[in-house]
Amino acid sequence: MDRNARMEQMKKKRLFSAFLGILTALWFSSCGILDTESSGGESYLTPKEAIFALYANDPAPNDSLGPHLSTGVLMPVHAGAQYTLSFDADETHEAPKLQLYRLYPRDSEYYDVGSQTKNLTAIDSAGRWVYHFDCGETSTPYWGTVLVEDGEYYTGAVNNLRFEGVGSNSLHFSLNLVVVGSYGGTSDDVSLDSLSRLILEEFRSAFSPGGIVVDTLFLHHASERSDLSSSYPDNEPWLAGKYSDDYFVTEVGGWPNSDAEPDVYNALDIVLVHRIEKTGVLGLSQLFGGNLGGGSGSTVVVGTHYLKNSSLESSQSALQIALTAVHESGHFFGLRHTTSQASEVLSSLDQSNYHDGLDDTPFCEALLRMVMSSEISESLASMPSGAMPRVYLAKSLETCPDALNPMFPVSATYPEDTEDFTEDQLTLVAKMLQLYPH
């Protein structure tokens, strides 16, 4: 499918149900949250689409966001955080109102438009229009944007868009290692207890230079959870994406607190499965997953094994598993790949995001241009929405200047050579950890 056809398909998929949206807005306005009808006839300019997501503090270029801000981009926000959105003033227009609406995921593709939650006037500051607001919600909702000028969708330019979020949550976090199905071992015969200790060590060494403290790791087996609708027996290997449609095994995220472990619910959930049912894929997480509780975006998935091709699997070493968990957690905290894979750029529909936007991470032209094997590219093209995979490739990419960065999308030939996160990467992770309630 060419890019335009794909874009059309995505637009169709993500269009809101306008009718239901309006009904929901009226329902909420009668609850007194904000009477959209009283705000000068602007109430029905609701978000029309959410093809692109605007993440706070995302340094990537995101060239597609500006042109869509007026009619709707998805804006995940976090309870207790303070936000500033700004862009260059367009002198041919009046500063538009920034109106924000609650969006409710109906399924993995559709959102319903809820009530208006903000109606913001710009502050003019050094040639930029600036909007300050706090989240003011108790959960972690999705909002959608609308820019309104004279009762119509704003048609001026939105250039150099920036969206900053500041939170005051702790720089400490813990890990839950949730083993789903039987533990299949590593290529170097490391026991589960030793693997757990290695994962904790690798997290500490990766994140502590950023002032982040990884307190501890709790080891659990999904088979202990009698409350879950799917059963996860521990006597057979779990193949994520095969035994249930949910590659992220979201159901096991948000491990319940107990008297013995009163603080596990807000730990980062690393789900250890036998393998992910996609060729070449070692681990998965959602970019800006951001949920240190339970539910969508709360899990990072790693396989002890991976599919080399459709019929052959291979095992990872303990260190590869630990580094894959660190890599995927990097995505959870907002780090993109240092160099995007071509399939990622295509599926995000934003060609500007071929790199992570950070100044101190190198970039590899050769990777972007590399033609993957058909099996790998097929598996990457059919990833679950928002998934950020790390892949195994049977060819050397050592000529790439970012090949040893923890956020390079392809696992290193010699994992022990993996470098530290850069200063800019750690700064972003620390900022996001403070934004995520936990």
Closer to Zn ion by CB, 180 or 335: give it.
335
Of the candidates 273, 279, 218, 229, the one whose C-alpha atom is nearest the C-alpha of residue 248 is: 273
Site string for Zn ion, 337-376 (x = CB under 5 A): ----------------------------------------
Tell me, residue by residue from 316 to 335, as one string, x for binding to Zn ion by CB under 5 A and - for no binding.
--------------------
- Per CB under 5 A, the segment of 12-20, 61-69, 155-163, 382-390 that binds Zn ion is 382-390
How many residues are there in the chain? 438
Cα(245)–Cα(384) distance, rounded to whole angstroms? 10
Closest distance to Zn ion from the beta carbon of 336 (Å): 8
Binding-site member from 281, 390, 425, 429 for Zn ion (CB under 5 A):
390
284 token code pair: 């998965």
Residue range at the interface with Zn ion (CB under 5 A); choices 27-35, 237-245, 292-300, 383-391: 383-391
When asked if residue 14 is in the footprint of Zn ion (CB under 5 A), the reply is no
Listing DSSP states for 49-117 in one string gives --SSB--TT--S--TTHHHHTTT--EEE--TT-EEEEEEE--TTSPPPEEEEEEEEESSSS-EEEEEEE
Min dist. Cβ of residue 288 to Zn ion (A): 13
Q: Which is nearer to Zn ion, 77 or 281 (CB)?
A: 281
Shortest Å distance, C-beta 408 to Zn ion: 8
Residue 135 touching Zn ion (CB under 5 A)? no
Per-residue 3-state assignment (H helix, E strand, C coil) for 200-237: HHHHHHHHHHHCCEEEEEEEEEHHHCCCCCCCCCCCCE
Angle at 289 between CA 286 and CA 293, to 5 degrees: 130
Structure token pair of residue 401: 């200047």
Q: Is 412 near Zn ion (CB under 5 A)?
A: no
Helices (H), ranges, 208-339: 318-332
Binding segment (CB under 5 A) for Zn ion, from list 123-131, 197-205, 249-257, 381-389: 381-389
Token pair of 149 as six digits:
């000028």
20, with CB counted inside 10 A (0-12, 13-18, 19+), is: middle
Q: Is 388 in the site for Zn ion (CB under 5 A)?
A: yes
- Interface stretch with Zn ion, choices 92-100, 169-177, 315-323, 384-392 (CB under 5 A): 384-392
The least CB distance from residue 391 to Zn ion, in Å, is 8
| Nearest distance in Å: CB 385, Zn ion | 15
Number of residues that bind Zn ion (CB under 5 A): 2
The single residue listed with the structure tokens 């993957």 is 372
Query: Which of 286, 321, 319, 326 lies closest to 306 in space, CA to CA?
Result: 321
Residue 240 or residue 388: which is nearer to Zn ion going by CB?
A: 388
What is the smallest separation between the CB atom of 324 and Zn ion, expressed in angstroms?
A: 9
Contacting residues toward Zn ion, per CB under 5 A: 388, 390
